[in-house]
Structure 1
Amino acid sequence: MPVTRKALVVAAAVGTLTLAGASAAEADSSRCTVDSGCAGRATFASYGEVFTVYDQNADGHSAVALYWLPDGSGPHLIWNSDGNGTSVTANLEFPEGDWVTYRVCLGEFGPRQVLTETCGAAITDYA
């Protein structure tokens, strides 16, 4: 293999490992509702244990994040009923290294009804 090509392969491998390491160390994540337009989205920032719930579609529904904690409690709900283009932030407090499992759905805020057929896949992240 020519030296130049070998250098490019090594650089690509190092870049891939660096990116993988960065995402694992930060342990931040994001999930959407099942619709193709991601009408509801939730992000979790490990540093500070912060959820942000986004309403990204003028569909008349609220976005809601459901989460579970290691103590067996949940689902806890974080509602964004402020309408399309808005976000709601919830700053949680739990020990470093603890996990949180969450998913995002659409719902009806008034009766606090989660539309389970809209829920995206669950993900587990860590503080």
Structure 2
Amino acid sequence: MPRLALKYRMILLFAGLASLTFAHPAAAETIDCANAMATVELNFCADKEYQAADKALNAEYALALKSVRSRTLERPYDAKSAEDALKTAQRAWIAYRDADCKGVVAQVWTNGTGATSAILMCMTDKTQQRTKELNAQFQEN
């Protein structure tokens, strides 16, 4: 009997999560991020801000790649070498950001109610900073 009860609890849990997923778009329209107070609202707003920062970073990274691909210098400063170096650096930066925010910050919050927002804010801050770095380093003068 305990296995059966666990099975039904799991079904109810997944059904509840599914209903939240489908209700999310309508509920999102009513969240005022300037006045968010509840944990769910804070998490939603933090995620929304992170998604915007990530989108800006991806656009800036694409511009940086375009810039290095236009190089006409010889090896080891040619376009291919510069592109490889930038890709390697970006992958390493993503690993650092994720390890610091999802690892260290999560440990600081010990899975408290503010952990998700804190992690997302960390990721947003680091992502915005990286966007500025790429812009400063590769912008056209």
TM-score under structure 1 normalisation?
Answer: 0.29
Structure in which a larger fraction of residues adopt helix: 2
Q: Which has the larger radius of gyration?
A: 2
TM-score under structure 2 normalisation?
Answer: 0.27
Structure in which a larger fraction of residues adopt strand: 1
